[in-house]
């Protein structure tokens, strides 16, 4: 009932705050319900008032010569705004104050491939190179444009850590106030990074799902008036930022689809939007249409989607998170059922790994490719290793693995790493330590 009330309240807000056609979000033409197909005008509405299904952005995508569109994209800025014609943002978005995230490295991971027994090409899409060192900068950048369009003055979110920092930084750059909400027991590195930007950072006693419920209540209260919650009432726009990962991967592969891609699952939105982005590239003729497989990765201590997948269920039953991979610790993932559909449609799989395997995978990636991943990256690499060992991922095909954040934010996970030895400043001491 609360979701129904929030959906109706959001629809009323749209009706009273914007006149039809007054919102400029580029090629975006409206919102469409994933479940019933009901259409709505662009606005801060996130659930269908008819069936309460999730909404996503509908577009009038560019038509015409794919070669000309490729050339226009390649001539654009080295960030996500090169794809502005495919995103819900105004045409002049690149001229506005922004952190300008995206176009991060696609690393040819030959050393990791050898370690894992991959005979085909293996790449790591390393999104730790974004401004606040996680992929969340992409989704927040899109949400900021929606917040501007709808006249919001405060940016907010419920966060497992990375999103809090991304919202704080983007708000500071774009001139918004920020107030973000996190579980009270997050990794200290993420807490410090989220707080340094000068906005309000509020710890909530409980896990992420408790934080998210609180934010939903705040949206429906006068206290939340003028607030854009990037992953709640701005969620349809926010989610579209993940499509840019698909666009970049294909462009960096020479405008080709990968054969296989392994993606971490928190809410599941990233995985569903990457699939949407791949489908859009096919529709536009920017890449050749061919089969690809999408694999989802979770930590065993919070694995509601992999549990449902392996049991053959269509419903994802909530779990209470208990894992070091706190950025993925969402026990009731909103997009879980859609992840199941995509993994099954593409012939992929959803797997999970233990915390011990997460730590092992962080070390493997660091020691083979010099990439220090946070725990979510450890989950993805660990699941990739497990999928290969179990014969579910073909090691002869072109595979892309996502690293979505920087290991400096989750130092606690590898706290045992450090000095090999402590010696006196002499060659004899160095020899005695057995390091020569």
Question: pLDDT, tens digit, for every residue of 32-72?
Answer: 999 999 999 999 999 999 999 999 999 999 988 999 999 99
Q: What is the pLDDT of residue 69?
A: 97
User: Is pLDDT at 373 greater than 70 in this prediction?
Assistant: yes
Residue with token string 């996190």: 182
Q: How confident is the model at residue 255 (pLDDT cuts 50, 70, 90)?
A: very high
Is the CA virtual torsion 377, 167, 182, 217 positive or negative?
Answer: negative
Over 50: is that where the pLDDT of 17 sits? Answer: no
What confidence tens digit (pLDDT) does each residue in 176-232 have? 999 999 998 888 888 898 999 999 999 999 988 899 899 989 988 999 899 999 999
Rounded to whole angstroms, how far apart are CA atoms 248 and 258? 11
Under the banding of pLDDT at 50, 70 and 90, the label for residue 264 is very high
CA dist., res. 61 & res. 280, Å (int) = 9
Mean of the pLDDT values across residues 67-94? 97
- 18 has a pLDDT exceeding 60: no
Flag the least confident range among 112-116, 224-228, 276-280. 224-228
Confidence of residue 21 (pLDDT cuts 50, 70, 90): low
pLDDT at 6 over 70: no
Rounded to whole angstroms, the Cα distance separating 153 from 431 reads: 63
pLDDT of 228-251, one tens digit each?
Answer: 999 999 999 999 999 999 999 999
Overall average pLDDT of the 296-312 stretch: 98
- Helices 243-252 and 269-283: crossing angle in degrees, nearest 10, is 50
């Amino acid at each position: 009932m609360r979701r129904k009330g929030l959906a109706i309240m959001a629809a009323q807000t749209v009706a009273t705050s914007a006149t039809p056609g007054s919102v400029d979000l580029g090629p975006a033409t409206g919102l469409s319900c994933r479940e019933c197909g009901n259409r709505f005008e662009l606005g801060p509405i996130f659930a269908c008032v008819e069936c309460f299904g999730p909404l996503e952005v509908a577009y009038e995508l560019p038509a015409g010569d794919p070669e000309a569109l490729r050339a226009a994209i390649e001539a654009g800025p080295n960030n996500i705004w090169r794809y502005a014609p495919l995103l819900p943002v105004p045409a002049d978005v690149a001229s506005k104050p922004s952190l300008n995230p995206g176009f991060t490295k696609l690393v040819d991971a030959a050393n990791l491939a050898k370690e894992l027994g991959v005979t085909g090409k293996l790449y790591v899409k390393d999104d730790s190179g974004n401004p606040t060192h996680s992929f969340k900068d992409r989704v927040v950048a899109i949400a900021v444009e929606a917040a501007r369009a709808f006249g919001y003055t405060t940016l907010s979110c419920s966060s497992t850590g990375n999103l809090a920092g991304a919202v704080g930084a983007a708000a500071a750059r774009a001139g918004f106030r920020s107030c973000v909400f996190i579980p009270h027991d997050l990794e200290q590195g993420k807490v410090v990074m989220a707080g340094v930007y000068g906005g309000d950072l509020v710890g909530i006693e409980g896990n992420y799902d408790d934080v998210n419920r609180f934010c939903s209540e705040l949206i429906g209260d006068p206290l939340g008036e003028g607030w854009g919650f990037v992953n709640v009432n701005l969620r349809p726009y926010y989610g579209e930022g993940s499509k840019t990962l698909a666009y970049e991967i294909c462009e960096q592969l020479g405008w080709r689809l990968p054969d296989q891609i392994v993606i971490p699952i928190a809410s599941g939105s990233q995985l569903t939007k990457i699939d949407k982005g791949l489908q859009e590239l096919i529709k536009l003729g920017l890449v050749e249409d061919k089969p690809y497989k999408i694999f989802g990765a979770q930590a065993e201590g919070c694995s509601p989607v992999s549990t449902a997948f392996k049991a053959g269920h269509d419903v994802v039953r909530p779990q209470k998170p208990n894992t070091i991979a706190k950025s993925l610790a969402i026990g009731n993932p909103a997009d879980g059922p859609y992840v199941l559909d995509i993994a099954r449609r593409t012939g992929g799989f959803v797997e999970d790994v233990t915390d011990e395997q997460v730590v092992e995978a962080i070390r493997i990636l660091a020691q083979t490719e010099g990439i220090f991943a946070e725990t979510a990256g450890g989950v993805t690499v660990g699941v990739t290793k497990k999928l290969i060992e179990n014969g579910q991922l073909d090691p002869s095909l072109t595979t892309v693995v996502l690293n979505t954040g920087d290991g400096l934010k989750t130092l606690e996970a590898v706290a045992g790493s450090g000095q090999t030895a402590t010696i006196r400043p002499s060659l004899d001491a160095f020899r005695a330590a057995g390091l020569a």
